[in-house]
Amino acid sequence: MFEIFLLAAATLLVSYLYTKLRYLRFRQYAHLPQLPNHLLWGHLKIFGEFMNRGIHDRHPDKIFEEMWDSMGRPPIMLVDLRPINPPMVLVPSHDIAEQISKPTKLFPLSPPKSPTYAHMIPIIGPTSILGREGVEWKDLRKRYNPGFGTQHLWSVLPLILEKMEPCWNYLDQFAATREEFSLELLISNMTFDVIGAAVMEVDLNAQHMDRSKQGEVIRLFGELLQTYSDDKNNLPWWIAPFTTLKRKRLASRIDLLIKNIIQQKYAELKKETEGNRSRSILALSFQDTEALTPQLLSATSDQIRSFLFAGHDTNASMLQWAFYELSRTPRALKAVRDELDEILGPESDPQTICVTLAQNGEHLLPRMHYINAVIKETLRLHPPAATVRMTEPGTGFTVHTSTGEEYCLDGVIMYSCQSVIQRDPAVYGDTANDWVPERWLGEAGKSIPSTAWRPFERGPRNCIGLELANLESRVIIAIVARKYDFIKTGLGESILDEEGLPELNDKGQYKVKSELYNTRRMTSKPVDGTMMTIKLAAKA
């Protein structure tokens, strides 16, 4: 009798689970456009099939785009990643992305961030501004906004310029030896030092190609980021438990070191006289602080770690692509150099340029319109990251398409995919996939909808460090672009003719033996670390 009861119970349980699974896979989000769903694996199986059709380590965004293309490019696309991650909706259009990022009656600060950002907590900390909501986020944004404002950043410019010399010393060395080097490593180290100086006014000792000679914070950050080197799907902890434990161990040590710096800087701040105030963003955030409580210390550490990560990562990725695109687009490189000659004079010595910018950068840097176009176009074509939002089931958050459909997106990750949005032929025409800085100049630039360029996102939750990133990028290009010629090796290397000269294609760029592409290592980065050789430019 007991066996019969047990068999009946097991049958009922299997029947219930089967019915529940069928509902989750085939009915729960049936109203959303999607590829055929597998009962057990959802879209993980078809994602794997698309991945196997191309280069395995290409960025997942490319795979999502190929899946979306195969459906005829619907206004949105569901990708059911359960049980690895919650179901996700790919947002490929700027008008729907704008609906997700702007304030609404339901969400006065825009829809909340997706909880899937939690895999970044070892890097940015549990109370990071990147993941806070409501009043907590507003208070943090209010505290740090002044430090990232344009006027304050001009006062930080000398701190940024002080960190340039090790970089050009390495470039001089590589030009003399013609040895191959990783542009990613060189620029990442420099941007770490720059953000350390701007945020905390400290020397993080990052600019060594030999990691063993770097400061401890940078070495540990490097180790921590390396644990995300194969990070295609934000794998949950139970799939990679040892990696998760390693991340926690490294994060704990980094947190302790950052807290030590904060305590030291706070003590120094209290002793400063009126005319000798620190210019750092950290110091500005402490202006009205009467006591550094344990809670404030912990929260400040999380924000500093967030700024260190985001502040170095975005520019490191963008500058790699910018120098690569300039190296293979002679008309654009000439335009950059001509603009710098006009604004800064013919001298291309980095030390002289730094002195000039330290004295008059506030007036000179805003005149660099073509360089600004280079930065915008590089961020359009090669955005480092995207944004994810999520609303609770039953909220009623609905988006509207340009053709009149309405879709309720409660309970799914809303993934505004910048690499697709910013290559929309309806906005950028036949050259949507081409690197064309000129599209941002004059009347042509005015015709591009502001909502179609969103590498720093838009709305209340846009990136707090936008102005700092742009300032740093212009400074680095101004210092480097005229003195050195970058030559790509390996992936993306130019095809040479019989005389050993690169050949132009019909788009005004050098033909290449193979395409350089992004992979995902937490954010989008060139897959090979952007291996280069370098030589002094003819005029230098």
Q: Chunked in runs of 10, what are the mean pLDDT values of the chain (540 residues)?
A: 75 87 93 95 95 94 97 97 91 97 94 89 95 94 92 91 95 97 96 94 93 94 88 68 92 97 91 71 85 94 94 92 98 98 96 96 97 98 94 95 94 96 97 98 93 96 94 97 97 94 95 96 93 90
Those residues whose C-beta lies under 8 Å from the C-beta of residue 313, and which sit 6 or more positions away, are: 188, 191, 384, 522, 523
Q: What's the residue count for the chain?
A: 540
Q: Is the peptide bond before 83 cis (omega within 30 degrees of 0)?
A: yes
pTM: 0.95
Helix (H) or strand (E) holding 188: helix 183-200
Residue 200's pLDDT is 93
User: Among 438, 462, 442, which residue's Cα sits nearest to residue 385?
Assistant: 462
Please provide the distance, in angstroms rounded to a whole number, between the alpha carbons at the two ends of the chain.
93
**Alpha carbon separation from 14 to 6, 7, 8, 23, 28 (Å, rounded):** 12, 10, 10, 14, 19
**CA 487 from centre of chain:** 25
Those residues whose C-beta lies under 8 Å from the C-beta of residue 288, and which sit 6 or more positions away, are: none
Residue 276's pLDDT is 65
Residue 62 and residue 371: Cα distance in Å, rounded? Answer: 28
Residue 529's pLDDT is 96
Residue 231's pLDDT is 57
User: Among 356, 376, 328, 326, which residue's Cα sits nearest to residue 482?
Assistant: 326
Residue 325's pLDDT is 98
Helices (H) and strands (E) in the chain, counts: 20, 11
Q: Which amino acid is at 176?
A: A
Q: Residue 463 has what DSSP assignment? A: -
Residue 489 sits at φ, ψ, to 5 deg, of: -120, 155
- Three-class SS state of 504: strand
Residue 521 forms beta bridges with which residues? 523
- Three-class SS state of 527: coil
